[in-house]
Amino acid sequence: MSLSNDNNFNQLQLRVQFYSMPQNEWKKLRPHFPGYTSGLVKSEPGKFVMNPLYGFHAEKLYRMQPRRDDVWLLGFPKCGTTWTSELIWLLMNNCDTARASATHLIFRTPCIELPFLTSETELSPQMMNMLNAIEKMQSPRVLKSHLPFYLLHPDLLDTSKVVYIARNPKDAIVSFYHHTKLVKRHNFQGTLEEFAEYFMEDEILCSPFFPHVLDAWSKRHHPHLHFMFFEDLKKNLRGEIEKVADFLGQSPSNEQLGKITNHLRFDNLKHNDSVNNELGKRTGFMNKDGNFMRKGKTGDWKNHFGPELNSKIDKWIERNLRGSDLTFITELEQQD
């Protein structure tokens, strides 16, 4: 159902406002993020950080009507959404790895806020066409988003099946740091230590991290939500595929499970041009140095954090998880 056909369109109202990031915060960030030429905005309530074009159109995505046969994938950036969206698409499409390899993932499992992730102040015709294409996709759709639940249609969880992918914040920081140096619209010019400070101070795109994850965690017992961890995919990929298949009501054969497990191994995806976003280098979206799919390892933070930074991050994690039963695995003895 399109936005224009939503019977509740005129009644549905997003009770969140977006304001320009406070001058003191933006003054500090600006030299390190020259790609954010139009600045950043924060939501009230929620303090969600995004670029102004999204803030101006946030209600448009809030009103995007979910379908009963949709599968939505949510998660904070660089926590496994690319990996998991390929997994979901395969399960929803008869484990057709040949078709998956022939069509770029961005068209098979589009990110709904992607048309707004630019520094432009107007929605271009090309981006509007991308948004309309999502509305016109044939069912069943597999859609993904880095938006928190409260910025999505309030009926989403009661209407569609939702998978939420979480990752330990230490590796999320490292992965997002490399991502912001790779993608030109971020063009981060600082050090990892500076980026980690911004991450912990909830000043980077899509922050704050913990409210994003904890809100989903609080909904994990809803029958339409499957909450999963990046680290579990690393420990037992096939076992996690089977859990998602069961949640989606799919019954792949042993042969199909073996085929997609091999297809989904991180080292294989990293060299799969329909998934690895190397296209971004050819189109000028990304810098030549680095890779969108980099290491995919749990515990890579140990190669980046010094004792002082690690101690500070440990205290930040402890403070934000106090009173919650959510825990993260930050190291694995064995992983794919």
- Whether residue 223 is preceded by a cis peptide bond, meaning omega within 30 degrees of 0, is no
Torsion of CA 29, 193, 310, 178, to 10 degrees: 90
Query: Could you confirm whether 146 is annotated as catalytic?
Result: yes
Which residues, listed in sequence order, are joined to residue 20 by a DSSP beta bridge?
Answer: 41
For 266, how many CA atoms within 13 A lie in the half-sphere containing its CB?
Answer: 19
Beta-bridge partner residues of 163? 73, 226
In DSSP notation, 53-88 reads: HHHHHHHHHHT----TT-EEEE--TTSSHHHHHHHH
Residue 200, number of CB atoms within 10 A of its CB:
22
Contact 33, 181 (CB under 8 A): no
d(CA 186, CA 208): 17
The span from the CA of 291 to the CA of 287, in Å, is 9
Q: Which two tokens stand for residue 335?
A: 């992983």
- 32, 104, 146, 178: which one is catalytic? 146
Q: Which is it for strands 71-74 and 225-229: parallel, antiparallel or unpaired? A: unpaired
Instruction: List, in order, residues 6 or more apart from 41 with CB less than 8 Å away.
Output: 18, 19, 20, 21, 49, 50, 51, 52, 54, 55
Residue 229: enclosing H or E segment and its boundaries? strand 225-229
Give the bridge partners for 229, in sequence order: 166
Query: Cα–Cα distance between 247 and 231 in angstroms, integer?
Result: 19
Q: Please, are residues 67 and 242 in contact by the beta-carbon 8 Å criterion? A: no
Residues with catalytic function: 146
